[in-house]
Each structure stands twice: as structure tokens, then as C-alpha cells.
Amino acid sequence: MDKLVIEGGVSLKGQVSISGAKNAALPLMAASLLASGKHTFANVPRLRDIRTMQVLLSNMGAVSEQGDRFELDTSDIRTFEAPYELVKTMRASVLVLGPLLARYRKARVSLPGGCAIGARPINLHLRGLQQMGVDIELDHGYVIASASRLRGAVISFDQVTVTGTENLMMAATLADGVTVLQNAAQEPEVVALAEYLNKMGARIEGAGTTEIKIDGVRELTPSDFTVIPDRIETGTYLAAAGITNGHLKLRGCRPDHLDAVIQHLAQAGLAIEAGQDSLEVRRVSKIRSVDVKTRPYPAFPTDMQAQFMALMALGDGVSLITEQIFENRFMHVLELKRLGAEIELEGRTAVVRGVRRLSGAQVMATDLRASASLVLAALAAEGVTEIHRIYHLDRGYETIEKKLAAIGAKVWREKT
Ligand code: EPZ
């Protein structure tokens, strides 16, 4: 197990290149199951979760290689299973369910276990598939799914679900007839997936709105695609400039994917200038305490909640941070308090009283974005912080210590 050691107090200055989005690359890789042959992706980040998806697909018979471009050949898929050992390390493995059923009419996928941030069931995925004519059995922790044919259906989600929307959109591309997804997720990653599916020959309209219409076709053809920039990595570095009173230029990003994040950070005292594919950020006042509620895109994303809380820990007043997507996404609170933050939980709201300074300590990462918030707090804290269990961080942030060191941070990785 590695740990990250950070000596805080440095104002970060310089340029950061933003990597491709993990949460865009994973559904694209799953979509390769819909069409036999070689799919090519550019700008795929080098992350633990990407490697996990590679192993999952290669266990089924796919051949992949991550060079300058990511080549994925699904000509010879022989098994249709996502085993517990892999699904328990990465919930996004359930994204193979829709494509396997659409193309091969069968799948055996482990139910994802619980996760640090909440129960995260997949009942909405399964209910939608049943509406499309899929027979679903739950047996020994596995979803056993089969169908003679998939047929179009009108599916209305009780709750906005990102991978639920992606799974059913993929399943519908090869179904008989038209599928309509209502109360669909509008995330940029959903839009990017729809663009790739249409490039492969699918007929999808409305991606990016709450209603997506998919007219099933007979078959799809492999193609190529460039993964969109990671909007959460972008937001994390914007917050890093704010919390260290630095000045950063972020390149290769999509400012239009971060309106709610930029708006809240500007209210918190950051000056942010957007270019076509760049963002320049510096702090122009003390950190101002701002309230935030997480909601589905285009509102403030839950994946930025922990990072925003780290910034608010040094705010000039009181910030109310309400987590409305996941029921247990405050694991970072106790760790931030070890660094000197003053935070009290009241149900789904964290009351963050800004303090004048944080001080370094030993802390433990619990989930991907919680670990990012500990990195941010450590960068601002006086003295040295050691962040343990940083394999969580490696799942979503490409070479984070190299990127941070390049902009002045005193950070290094140690084996424990
Ligand atoms: C995606 O997870 C992201 N992961 C998450 O990012 C992100 O936090 C989340 O969307 C919300 O934006 C990927 O895209 C790979 P949901 P997902 O289905 O799809 C409930 C990260 O840090 N729900 O949108 O699993 C669920 O419990 C990860 O990169 C059901 O009840 O999330 C949650 O409360 C963390 N039944 C809410 O809906 C279902 O069938 C939103 O979940 C599905 C979801």
C-alpha cells in the first residue's frame, strides 16, 4: 500500500494538462462489445479503473492495448461474464450488461457490492432491461440475464442514474423498435457515449436532455473516438489553485462542462477565465464561505463535493454542503477534521465553519474523491500530511503527484 506525503504551504503555479475522463472512457470500452472488430480510442487516461475494464473485457475474449491510442478488438468474444472479483473493485463493470444482452442476448454479471459512499443498487438498470424483454434472475450474488430478442420500451427512471442511462442506451441500440429513456442523465459522459454509438451506426437523439430516443438497428460497426477531458479532474485543480492561493493554467479541458463548479468557485473568491479548451484560475480575495447542494448534471456534481468541502474548510464564515445524490458521501469529514477543519454533520448536510489554518497529520483515503479532498487540504495545511491507502486516488487521477510536483507542490509517494 502506498502513501502520499505532502508538505503544505506552497502556492501552486504553472500549467496542468487535463487527462481524458475515466467516466467517459469506461462506457466507451463497454460499448465496444456491441460491434465485433477493432475500436480505437484516443485520450484514454492511464488509470487503475481502465486497467480493470481491460481485464474484464480480455477475460471475455477481447484483445486490447493502450499505446498512444487505445486499441480494443472484440472480434472474438467467447464468454459473457463479469465476475465478482472484478465487479467488487469497480462498480462500472456493470456497464457490460447492456451491451452483452444487446449483442449476445445473455450475461452473467456479479451484483456490485456496497461501496464506501452508499448502497448504490442497480435496480433501475435491471427494471429497464426487464421492460425491454430481458429475463433477470438473481442467483448467488449474480445477475443471470437472457433474452430471445430485446424490444424497444418507454423507460422512466425514478431517479437520475448515469450508468443506468448508459447501460439502457447501449442495450436499446440493437433492440427491435424504439426505446425512450425519460428522466435520463444529462452528463457530458452520456452525450459522448451517444456520439460514439451514433458513429458506429446507432440512431440516438436527445442525449444531453432528460429524454433520449433510440431507434434500434440491426448491427453496429466499430469506429474510433476521442475521450472527452475529465471535468472532475479539472474542477479538482481549480480548487487546488484556490486553496493554495496559487495561479494555474489548465489545458485540454472543457470549460462548458463545468458551469456550476465555476460559478460556485467564483463565489468562493476565485477569478476564473475560460478559453476554448483552457481555464486560467487565481484567487483574488480570501476564501469566501459558500453553500452548495449536489444534484445531477448540469447542477453541482457530487464528485466535486469533497473537494469543495476542503476549500470551504478555510472559508471566512459558515458553508452548508448538502449531498443529495449518495447517502454516505461524507467519509472525508472525519479525516478533514484531523487536519483541523471544523465540520459538523446534520443528516445530509455538512456545516463547515471556516478556520484560519489547517495543520498536517496522518489521514486515510476512503474513496476516490474523498482522497482528492485530503490532497487539497494537505496542500494548504502547515507541515507534513501523510495520506494512506492512496490506491483510491490512483483509480481516478493520472500520475497526480507528478502533475502536482510540476506546479510546485512538495509531494512524494512512499511505500508502506
Ligand atoms: C456515476 O455512478 C459515476 N460513475 C460516479 O462517479 C458519480 O458519482 C455518479 O454517477 C453520480 O454522478 C461512473 O460514471 C462510472 P448513479 P453511478 O447511478 O452511475 C441511485 C467517481 O467518483 N441508484 O447516477 O453508479 C444511487 O444509489 C464515481 O468517478 C439507484 O438507487 O451513479 C445513487 O444514490 C463515484 N438505483 C443515485 O441513484 C439504480 O439502479 C445516483 O447513482 C441506480 C442508481
Q: Which atom of ligand 1 is nearest the CA belonging to 395?
A: 29
The angle at the Cα of 242, spanning 304 to 25, to the nearest 5 degrees, equals 35
Position 118 scores a pLDDT of 78
Confidence of residue 416 (pLDDT cuts 50, 70, 90): confident
Q: What is the mean predicted confidence (pLDDT) over 394-416?
A: 93
- Cell triple for 27: 462506457
Reported as a single tens digit per residue, the pLDDT across 327-378 is 889 999 999 999 999 999 999 999 999 999 999 999 999 988 999 999 999 9
The angle at the Cα of 203, spanning 197 to 208, to the nearest 5 degrees, equals 70
Position 328 scores a pLDDT of 87
Closest CA to 246 of 10, 8, 6, 5: 10
More confident site: 67 or 183: 183
Q: What is the mean predicted confidence (pLDDT) over 100-124?
A: 89
- Cell triple for 110: 456479479
Closest CA to 25 of 49, 58, 57: 49
Distances (CA, A) of 252 to 227, 284, 296, 397: 11, 24, 24, 15
Q: At what angle do helices 162-172 and 97-104 cross, to 10 degrees?
A: 10
Q: Which atom of ligand 1 is nearest the CA belonging to 117?
A: 35
Closest CA to 246 of 360, 371, 404, 412: 404
If you take atom 20 of ligand 1, which residue's CA is the nearest one? 120
Place of cell 467517459: 24
Reported as a single tens digit per residue, the pLDDT across 241-263 is 999 999 999 999 999 999 999 99
Closest CA to 397 of 374, 364, 363: 374
Q: What is the mean predicted confidence (pLDDT) over 92-120?
A: 91
Q: Is 124 in the pocket of ligand 1 (CB under 6 A)?
A: yes
Q: Is 230 in the pocket of ligand 1 (CB under 6 A)?
A: no
Q: Is 162 in the pocket of ligand 1 (CB under 6 A)?
A: yes
Position 226 scores a pLDDT of 98
* Mean pLDDT score across all residues of the chain: 96
Q: What is the mean predicted confidence (pLDDT) over 3-17?
A: 97
- Cell triple for 19: 487527462
CA 301 to the chain's CA centroid: 10
Q: Ligand 1 centroid to 120 CA: how many Å?
A: 7
Position 398 pLDDT exceeds 90? no
What's the rounded Cα separation, in Å, for the pair 156 and 175?
17
The DSSP string of 347-363 is TTEEEEE--S--B--EE
Q: What is the mean predicted confidence (pLDDT) over 288-307?
A: 98
Catalytic residue (one of 5, 115, 180, 320) = 115
Q: Ligand 1 centroid to 283 CA: how many Å?
A: 32
Report yes or no: 223 and 196 within 8 Å, Cβ to Cβ: yes
Position 198 scores a pLDDT of 98
Report yes or no: 365 and 387 within 8 Å, Cβ to Cβ: yes
What's the rounded Cα separation, in Å, for the pair 69 and 109?
28
Q: Is 118 in the pocket of ligand 1 (CB under 6 A)?
A: yes
Position 1 scores a pLDDT of 81
Compute the half-sphere exposure of residue 72: CA atoms within 13 Å on the CB side of its CA: 30
Q: What is the mean predicted confidence (pLDDT) over 85-102?
A: 95
Position 303 scores a pLDDT of 97
Q: Determine whether 253 is an active site residue.
A: no
Reported as a single tens digit per residue, the pLDDT across 202-219 is 999 999 999 999 999 999
Position 120 scores a pLDDT of 79
Report yes or no: 319 and 354 within 8 Å, Cβ to Cβ: yes
What's the rounded Cα separation, in Å, for the pair 203 and 227?
20
Q: Ligand 1 centroid to 405 CA: how many Å?
A: 32
Q: Ligand 1 centroid to 163 CA: how many Å?
A: 7
Position 113 pLDDT exceeds 90? no
User: What are the residues facing 346 on neighbouring strands?
Assistant: 349
Q: Is 93 in the pocket of ligand 1 (CB under 6 A)?
A: no
Report yes or no: 247 and 273 within 8 Å, Cβ to Cβ: no
Closest CA to 169 of 8, 28, 302: 28
What's the rounded Cα separation, in Å, for the pair 355 and 343?
10
Reported as a single tens digit per residue, the pLDDT across 128-179 is 999 999 999 999 999 999 999 999 999 999 999 999 999 999 999 999 999 9
Residues 6+ apart with CB under 8 A from 396: 22, 47, 49, 230, 232, 233, 368, 369, 372
Which ranges of 93-218 does DSSP label H, i.e. alpha helix? 97-104, 123-131, 162-172, 188-199
Q: From edge to edge, which strands make up the β-sheet containing 384-388? A: 362-364, 384-388, 2-7, 410-415
